[in-house]
């Protein structure tokens, strides 16, 4: 598991329209409902640039809305600056993690981790599967995985404070 001292987190997937904006909104909701509200910053980005400027996928927005959450995010691509701007970069799947490792500057400050590594009930190496092109049920599944991992991530970050 990654550093527990992070105060800024960047969630990363491929397109930044399905999983990582969902993870960002879910984690923000968990933080804001905790005693650590206002103490942890978060954002999301994609390893690819195909959807830059777009709002999250309609199914991501729908699932968030059903849970009382919103996202004003516009898709953006990960930059090398993100490795110094954020304490922790959290990848949704192994391919995202490998892509981040491939572009990480030598002096990167950020720690890299898989999101589900913070869910203590998830098997080692578990991923948040890509729901792109799948029906709404896949997005509900992503939400459930994000919620468990987000709670674990907040516990990890705050346990040493």
Interface contacts to ligand 4NP, rule CB under 6 A = 13-19, 50, 130, 132
CB of 134 to ligand 4NP, least distance (A): 10
CB of 38 to ligand 4NP, least distance (A): 27
| Alpha-carbon Rg for the chain in angstroms | 14
Selected catalytic residue, list 13, 18, 42, 146: 13
**Which one-letter DSSP state was computed for residue 118?**
G
CB of 36 to ligand 4NP, least distance (A): 26
**Which one-letter DSSP state was computed for residue 72?**
-
Q: Which two tokens stand for residue 30?
A: 């968990």
Looking up tokens 């729908």, which residue turns up?
Answer: 62
Q: Which is nearer to ligand 4NP, 14 or 61 (CB)?
A: 14
User: 13 catalytic, yes or no?
Assistant: yes
User: 42 catalytic, yes or no?
Assistant: no
Q: Which two tokens stand for residue 157?
A: 């970050």
User: 130 catalytic, yes or no?
Assistant: yes
CB of 39 to ligand 4NP, least distance (A): 27
Distance CA 55, CA 57 (A): 7
Q: Which is nearer to ligand 4NP, 92 or 113 (CB)?
A: 92
Selected catalytic residue, list 18, 19, 87, 93: 19
Q: Which two tokens stand for residue 57?
A: 């996928």
Q: Which residue is nearest to ligand 4NP (CB)?
A: 15
Q: Which is nearer to ligand 4NP, 119 or 130 (CB)?
A: 130
Selected catalytic residue, list 18, 28, 130, 146: 130
What value, to the nearest 5°, has the Cα angle with vertex 31 and ends 28 and 33?
Answer: 110
**Which one-letter DSSP state was computed for residue 77?**
B
Biggest alpha carbon–alpha carbon distance for the chain: 42
Q: Which is nearer to ligand 4NP, 131 or 152 (CB)?
A: 131
**Number of residues assigned to the chain:** 161
Which residues are catalytic, by number?
Answer: 13, 19, 130
């Amino acid at each position: 598991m990654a550093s527990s001292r992070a105060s800024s987190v960047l969630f990363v997937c491929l397109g930044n329209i399905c999983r990582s904006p969902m993870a960002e909104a879910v984690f923000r909701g968990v933080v804001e409902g905790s005693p650590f509200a206002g103490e942890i910053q978060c954002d999301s980005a994609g390893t690819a640039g195909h959807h830059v400027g777009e709002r999250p996928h309609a199914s991501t927005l729908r699932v968030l809305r059903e849970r009382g959450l919103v996202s004003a995010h516009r898709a953006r691509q990960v930059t090398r600056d993100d490795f110094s701007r954020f304490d922790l970069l959290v990848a949704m799947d192994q391919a995202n993690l490998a892509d981040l490792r491939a572009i990480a500057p030598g002096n990167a400050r950020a720690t890299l981790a898989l999101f589900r590594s913070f869910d203590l009930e998830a098997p080692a190496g578990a991923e948040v599967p890509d729901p792109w092109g799948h029906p709404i049920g896949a997005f509900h599944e992503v939400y459930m995985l994000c919620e468990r991992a987000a709670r674990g991530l907040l516990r990890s970050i705050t346990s040493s404070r």
